[in-house]
């Protein structure tokens, strides 16, 4: 199911938590929602799930406004703080959620079994939720969000509290789910977005500041290509001078002259890999390394949200 958010606005008092944002998410797409604390991620997600009322604008799911038609049955939601009934055993809790989400009675057991297996809850399934560690509670939260096999998954920081192995498992799970479903997830962990999401949306102070894949964001953030090269030559000084004279290269920084390592910044809109290679060939030097330098997502994030 496609989700379309149109000029959504929500304020708390005088402060606008979400300020006129619009975006679309298509079926089979995993959208990563990034932003500093208090940027409006959770508020937006809460409005999509129908928990918070829409103040201005609209949210269209599957061609219909959620203000007119209740879409909760099609949405699986993992809230930020993952609230659970601590006095309930895992299996009972999942059954409770399944029934509330209108899973037919004869399917409830098989759905629970599937979720228990999928989220790795087998050993803990008869324990009370209050007795579980944070990571296992998070799994229960994920299980309850997916119990009714929803078309749309809204996950507010799904991997908090998980250990590295679990994080990998959950990411795989989300990626797998994302093939057929519409997934929106928010996170603070930047490598996670790159690992799981097809598209990234960065919001700051309630406004969208970037929208695109990790690659397009990188290009936007930095126009020039950066390379690190290592050239073996009798005279590194000659290499340095020759590099500077290449037309496609903007600046050359010496990292280590003795080993022949340089950092090269190309001119905007141009690529210098070929020129460097050809230069080495024609001079009879050996090109030992050429490493493209990628701007880290962290840097893009900082650049867009620090002001």
* Half-sphere exposure (Cβ direction) of 178: Cα atoms closer than 13 Å: 21
> In 3D, which of 84, 81, 79 has the Cα closest to residue 94?
84
Q: Which of residues 153-172 bind another protein (CB under 8 A)?
A: none
Select the residue interacting with another protein from 1, 27, 36, 72 (CB under 8 A). 72
- Binder among 7, 56, 67, 81 for another protein (CB under 8 A): 81
Nearest distance from C-beta of residue 298 to another protein, angstroms: 30
Q: What is the CA radius of gyration of the chain?
A: 25
Q: What would the two tokens of residue 145 be?
A: 């969000």
Site string for another protein, 82-111 (x = CB under 8 A): -xxxxxx---x---xx-xxxx---------
Residues 17-56 that bind another protein (CB under 8 A): 46, 49-52
How many residues make contact with another protein (CB under 8 A)?
26
What residues contact residue 242 under an 8 Å CB cut-off, 6+ apart? 279, 283
Q: Which stretch binds another protein (CB under 8 A): 71-79, 115-123, 192-200, 220-228?
A: 71-79
Q: Residue 238's CB: how many other CB atoms inside 10 A?
A: 13
DSSP 8-state assignment for residue 111: H
Per CB under 8 A, does 75 bind another protein? yes
User: In this chain, which stretch among 78-86, 161-169, 201-209, 287-295 interacts with another protein, using CB under 8 A?
Assistant: 78-86
Please name every residue paired with 154 in a beta bridge, in sequence order, or none if there are none.
77, 184
Contact window for another protein (CB under 8 A) among 74-82, 214-222, 257-265, 267-275: 74-82
Q: What is the end-to-end Cα distance of the chain in Å, rounded?
A: 36
Nearer to another protein, 101 or 272 (CB): 101
Characterize the bridge pairing of strands 286-293 and 226-232: antiparallel
d(Cα 177, Cα 149) in Å, to the nearest integer? 10
- Shortest Å distance, C-beta 85 to another protein: 6
What is the 8-class DSSP label of residue 249?
A: E
Member of 56, 70, 109, 163 binding another protein (CB under 8 A): 70
Which one of residues 144, 182, 204, 266 is an interface residue with another protein (CB under 8 A)? 144
Contact call for residues 140 and 132 (beta carbons, < 8 A): yes
Binding residues for another protein, rule: CB under 8 A, are 46, 49-52, 70, 72-73, 75, 77, 79, 81, 83-88, 92, 96-97, 99-102, 144
């Amino acid at each position: 199911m496609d989700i379309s958010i149109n000029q959504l606005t929500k304020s708390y008092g005088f402060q606008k938590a979400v300020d006129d944002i619009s975006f679309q998410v298509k079926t089979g797409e995993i959208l990563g929602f990034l932003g500093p604390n208090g940027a409006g991620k959770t508020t937006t997600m809460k409005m999509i799930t129908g928990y918070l009322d829409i103040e201005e604008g609209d949210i269209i799911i599957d061609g219909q406004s959620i203000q007119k038609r209740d879409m909760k049955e099609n949405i699986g939601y993992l809230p930020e703080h993952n609230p659970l009934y601590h006095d309930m055993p895992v299996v009972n809790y999942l059954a409770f959620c399944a029934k509330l989400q209108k899973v037919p009675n004869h399917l409830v057991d098989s759905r629970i079994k599937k979720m228990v297996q999928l989220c790795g809850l087998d050993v803990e399934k008869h324990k009370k939720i209050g007795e579980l560690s944070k990571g296992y509670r998070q799994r229960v939260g994920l299980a309850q969000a997916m119990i009714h096999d929803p078309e749309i998954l809204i996950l507010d920081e799904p991997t908090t509290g998980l250990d590295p192995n679990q994080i990998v498992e959950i990411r795989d799970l989300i990626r797998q789910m994302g093939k057929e479903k519409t997934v929106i997830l928010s996170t603070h962990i930047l490598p996670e977005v790159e690992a799981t999401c097809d598209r990234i949306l960065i919001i700051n102070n309630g406004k969208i500041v970037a929208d695109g894949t990790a690659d397009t964001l990188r290009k936007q953030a930095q126009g020039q290509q950066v390379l690190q090269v290592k050239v073996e030559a009798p005279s590194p000084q000659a290499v340095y001078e020759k590099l500077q004279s290449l037309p496609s290269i903007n600046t050359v920084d010496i990292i280590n002259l003795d080993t022949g390592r340089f950092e090269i910044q190309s001119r905007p809109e141009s690529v210098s890999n070929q020129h460097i290679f050809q230069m080495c060939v024609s001079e009879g030097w050996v090109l030992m390394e050429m490493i493209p330098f990628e701007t880290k997502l962290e840097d893009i994030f900082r650049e867009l949200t620090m002001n």
